[in-house]
Structure 1
Amino acid sequence: MSWVILEVPNLSRPKPKAAVQVLGCKVNQTEAEAIADLFRDRGYEIVDFSSKADVYIIHTCTVTRESDRKSRQIIRRAVKRNPEAIVAVTGCYAQTSSNEIAKMKGVDLIIGTSQRNQIVELVEEVRDTGETNSVVEDIKKLTAFEEFPLSKSSGRTRAFLKVQEGCRQFCTYCIIPYARGPVRSRPLEKAKERAEKLISMGYKEIVLTGIRLGAYGVDLKPPSSLAELVGELSRLDGLLRLRISSIDPNDFSKELVDALAGEEIVCPHYHISLQSGDNSILRKMGRRYTSEEYLELVSRIRSLRPESSFTTDVMVGFPGEKEIHFHNTKNFLNTVGFMDLHVFKYSPRAGTPAADYPEQIPGDIKKSRSKILRRLSKDLYNEFASCFLNETMEVLAEQRKNGLWEGHTPNYIKVKFPSHKANLQGETVPIRLMEMGDKFVMGREKMTDS
């Protein structure tokens, strides 16, 4: 009997490739990481957005017209890079402008700010049917917090934990309530469980994020609060640091101030959105506080934790902002003594009241005022950080770059320092702050007595 030997070809297929590009805020970045994890868990290889991929996901932002323009630019770039790829557009711009995006050549799938946890199934449905799809719900009707599976990746020191979605403030300039919908909160126990899993994965620091974080818990039954959540997370074993992302001044109850200032584990760095230091502009913006109330809040926190740093968002060129209003804002920024400023030029958003206000400010004036405040921001950073020179502070080592370790103090001063140790990532290191760099401080390890 003779045997015929057949050579069986290797039937294993290469992994499909997916690339994710994100624009915008920390919440968007957290969501984009979760989207990448969904594809990774389904067997996709995640590649750089500049590479050729089978699927491109653009997670968009719509806070300004420039954000919209950048989103469109990236969509076109993806289509050009691989015309055969599936291009999926998601996020805030997709939610508010799905009809506009649908007209763009090469876009296969549009998902707003819900159902993103089903994105892999929706992409594969498009792949199998060859038909484009738009999944954009009526944002006003959403009531449930959108859950994503927890990332299986580890090795970093800081994890972002999204606990809240949506906003109903409707400031006169802001498109975000139309993009994100009503307030929805992750239930307290689920937030606590997620934090415990992150700690078990090796994360030393957790940053709580949300669209309007201070509104956390108002929609839950029974209601909860950010103060209660902070108290619960502060008692978790293994967590070194708890940070809070941006909070609206109106959301600082006495209980929240006490929780943030009274828990040692909570980092004394507070990003409290200001927008303007002039009361008449604040009223036109629909902000529900005065500059005096804002300053009182900062002073109250500083009295409890003197080492606290404060950062903020400030807008220039809001309709009707005259030179005196800008002057008042600049003076107020100096009075508060912020550590850093996130400066934005006002951008009219269709459908918001401010877009129809008279006295729209010319672009060159916005640009000039923005430049002035950016210079001020650098000066404020140096002024704040220099107060801590020659002090020893605990720095959580995050990464090694160009031969130096980088990390942050509890009050969010960026520190660079040399070390002979090969791997400090995730360790807190006592560092003596020595000299100012460009928005960072050079330091050196404090040698412990043997």
Structure 2
Amino acid sequence: MKSVAFCTLGCKVNQYETDAMEEMFAAAGYEIREFREKSDIYIINTCTVTNIADRKSRQMIHRAKKINPEGLVVAVGCYVQAAGEKLQSDQDIDLIVGNNKKVQIVSLVENALKVREHLQSGKDLEYERAAVMDINHTKDYEALHVSHVREHTRAYIKIQDGCNQFCSYCIIPYARGRVRSRREEDIISEVQTLVDGGYKEIVLTGIHISSYGLDFENEDYNRHSRDSHLIRLIEKLGQVPGLLRIRLGSLEPRIITEEFAGRLRNVAQICPHFHLSLQSGCDATLARMNRHYTAAQYDESVRILRKYFDTPAITTDVIVGFPQESEEEFEASAAFLEHIRFAKMHVFKYSRRQGTKAASMEGQIDETVKNQRSARLIQMDQKLQAEFIRQWQGKTAQILLEEREKIDGKNYLTGYTKEYIHVAVPEREGLEANTVFSGKLSLRIHEEYVICERMD
């Protein structure tokens, strides 16, 4: 029995696709091993969202070759798609597989192994070392499926691929192509299979899930309501028997309307945890980023969510040091972040990506300035997180318990509230992993966790 090991870099979409590839290899009779172990085949699912992601992808490719110089090293995914020609000169890579080709991964690998065996026996035989398509001209959604995932309670469900937004700093539309959506019936079937397997929570993920369904043709839906397909999908998933939670991946702020939020509130399983990508709270910076909203429009989206949900967790991404970001622009952005009072902010320093419009902009910001701005927002984030958690003192919350942890020498069961607060509950009789525990919270913030000292 041949063995295969996987390494996943980047986003939850990549993790979903790795889970699907693992299932395909397992079904074909391969043994799945940990990446650190010696294996016959190594598959690195790469990321290209930043220069650092590119570097990590290369590092993991070379690490695989060091673990087993005789192993077949396969690079797949976004970095491959964006830099395929460059990677073909890397002698540590035996096979290159781009996006929308992962569904063929087993046959591509087996063909490469067969050719290698013939070469070793002295036969002159060549094979296609790179399987990379023109991702920008395909309309087909890559039909990957999962029936189980590595996490025991939560499963990520990919509902779409690609992006049509073309933010000036982002390489992803070039690596993932245009919007391609998965059919409702396929998503619902996969979710039901996972729920039947014991999973309690699903997370809808994709490259730009707010665009879900916009590529569907010849369908009767309101062209003025961009959220119609996504909200309809969520409502249908709310009817899946046994599903306790539906969590949403990153949302476009403009999708949040009174209609969308009102219908969303009526889905009992929905988690009031909304990740609205912001990037900057300054309109001038947003315009250079080619984001399609203003700070005021973003503020209105947050107001609507807080109108329909009690104490929702609003989280976001923020970029500091974007080209030409002046001190005044940064201060305007920081003031806006303070005004919104996020539950969590992911702070990133702008990373120059060749092939994007922002890479050639004048006024690139010095790394020292980026570091200073990043540190200030990270400090703000810590303060805002603590403020959000303190709002839950004495309130009733629902915790989906996931695993046992030892904290300061004591045994706890840890899990997440619907608002994605990471809570640790003292272990006691009757508490089990993969169950829901509800009650009033008495909380103590403790580094990675919030300790639930008492739950009435």
1:179-190 aligned at under 5 Å gives the runs 179-190=175-186
2:423 to 415, 418, 421: 415
Q: Which amino acid aligns with 2:443?
A: M
| Whole-angstrom distance in 2 between the partners of 1:445 and 1:183 | 47
Q: Flag as ranges the 4+ runs of structure 1 deviating above 4 A.
A: 152-155
Q: Summarize the Cα distance change of 1:132–1:421 in structure 2 as closer, same or farther, 3 Å threshold.
A: farther
User: 1: distance between equivalents of 2:151 and 2:205?
Assistant: 20
Of 168-177 and 359-368, more deviation after overlay is shown by 359-368
Q: 1:374 and 1:168, CA in 2 relative to 1: closer, same or farther beyond 3 A?
A: same
**156 and 353 in structure 1: CA distance in 2 versus 1, 3 angstrom threshold:** same
Structure 1 residue 142: Cα displacement: 1.3
1:29-52, Cα deviation, whole Å (9 max, x unpaired): 111121122212212221111111
1:191 to 183, 187, 192: 187
How far apart, in 2, do the equivalents of 1:154 and 1:48 lie? 12
> Which aligned pairs between 1:50-65 and structure 2 lie closer than 5 A?
50-65=36-51
- For the residues of structure 1 that align with 2:35 and 2:185, how far apart are their CA atoms? 36
Deviations 1:429-449 (A, max 9, x none): 0242321222531114646xx
* Cα distance, 1:254 vs structure 2: 3.9
Report 1:361-376 matches (<5 A).
Answer: 361-376=365-380
- Match for 2:359 among 355, 360, 365? 355
Change (3 A) 1:33 1:176: same
Q: What is the CA deviation profile of residues 243-290 of structure 1, one whole-angstrom value per residue up to 9, with x for unaligned ones?
A: 101011123344322222332210100000000000000000000111
Q: Compare 194-203 and 146-155 and name the one that shifted more.
A: 146-155
Gaps of 5+ in 2: 117-126, 222-227
Q: Which residue of 1 aligns with 2:31?
A: 45
Q: Could you tell me the TM-score, scaled by structure 2's length?
A: 0.92
* 3-state SS, counterpart of residue 389 of structure 2: helix
TM-score by structure 1 length? Answer: 0.93
Cα offset for 1:150?
2.3
Matched residue, 2:450: 441
Stretch of structure 1 that moved more, 16-25 or 221-230: 221-230
Contact conserved, 1:22 with 1:60, CA < 8 A, in 2?
A: yes
Counterpart of 2:190 in structure 1: which amino acid?
R
Please, which of 225, 236, 259 is the counterpart of residue 232 of structure 1? Answer: 236
Residue 24 (1) aligns with residue 33 (2): no
Whether the aligned pair in 2 keeps the contact of 1:309 and 1:338 (CA below 8 Å) is yes
CA contact (8 A) 1:90 1:111 kept: yes
Q: CA deviation at 1:314?
A: 0.5
Q: Distance in 2 between matches of 1:341 and 1:170?
A: 22
Question: Which residue of the partner structure matches residue 114 of structure 2?
Answer: 128
1:404 aligns with 2:412: yes
- One-letter amino acid of the counterpart of residue 326, structure 1: F
- Which residue does the alignment assign to 1:392? 396
Native 8 Å contact 1:429 1:445 kept in 2: no
Name the counterpart of 2:302. 298
- In structure 2, how many angstroms separate the alpha carbons of the residues matched to 1:356 and 1:421? 61
SS of alignment partner, residue 328 of structure 2? helix
CA contact (8 A) 1:381 1:439 kept: no
Q: How many residues align?
A: 433
Asked if the contact 1:108–1:132 (Cα under 8 Å) also holds between the matched residues in 2, the reply is: no
- Residues 145-168 of structure 1 show CA distances to partners (whole Å, capped at 9, x for unaligned) of 111232346871111111111001
> Is 2:141 the counterpart of 1:145?
yes
Structure 1 residue 97 displacement after superposition: 0.2
Equivalent residues of 1:214, 1:252 under 8 A apart: no
Secondary structure of 2:91's match? Answer: coil
- Report the identity percentage: 40
The residue type equivalent to 1:203 in the other structure is Y
CA contact (8 A) 2:41 2:71 kept: yes
Q: Encode CA deviations 1:283-341: one digit per residue, 9 max, x unaligned.
A: 00000111111011101110111220110011011000111111111111111010111
Superposition map of 1:44-443 within 5 A: 44-130=30-116, 131=127, 133-152=129-148, 156-221=152-217, 222=219, 225-402=229-406, 403-421=411-429, 424-431=432-439, 432-443=441-452
SS in structure 2 at match of 1:208: strand
Q: Is the contact made by 2:285 and 2:329 (CA closer than 8 Å) also made in structure 1?
A: yes
Contact 1:205 1:241 in 2 (8 A): yes
Could you list the runs of 5+ residues in structure 1 that have no partner in the other structure?
A: 1-14
Flag the 1:422–1:58 CA change in 2: closer, same or farther, 3 A.
farther
Write the distance in 2 (CA, Å) between the matches of 1:382 and 1:315.
22
